[in-house]
Amino acid sequence: MQALGRQILVEFYDCDKDILTDEKYIANAMVEACVVGKATVVAHTFHSFSPFGVSGVVVIAESHVAIHTWPEYGYAAVDIFTCGETIEPWVLFNHLKAAFKSQKASNMEIKRGLFETEPGTKLLHKPEGA
């Protein structure tokens, strides 16, 4: 079986609480992670909540990277979903772990869009004519 994409569900713990309230810093870190990971940034939007917390998403041509923060717990939930073979999602993970000064992280990688293919046949992420 081959997969169209890889998704990493990330839990960042013991992060810098001030960083997790800073919408501009988070947006910049998320976009920068995508650039460092060689993703193609299409658009991004972020929102600060009252009294604190930030949610946002960076849409990339290869899928998306999303975040929700709980500064009061020093916690951020991040979803890194990439399609194709040009991006290594763990590069984004490592960049964000450092950017948020996370002392502990857990993660789970899953394959998305699993298809049976003939032996020796490669699953095309962008089929011709699509």
Catalytic residue (choose from 15, 34, 63, 64): 63
Preceding amide of 51 cis, omega within 30: yes
Active site residue 15: no
Residue 14 zone, left/alpha/beta (φ > 0; ψ -120 to 50; rest): left
Q: What length is written for the chain? A: 130
Sheet holding 54-60, edge to edge: 41-48, 54-60, 63-70, 75-83, 2-13, 104-115
Catalytic residue (choose from 44, 48, 55, 68): 68
Active site residue 68: yes
Q: Which tokens go with 66?
A: 């999303």
Catalytic residue (choose from 15, 34, 64, 83): 83
Q: Which residues are catalytic?
A: 63, 68, 83
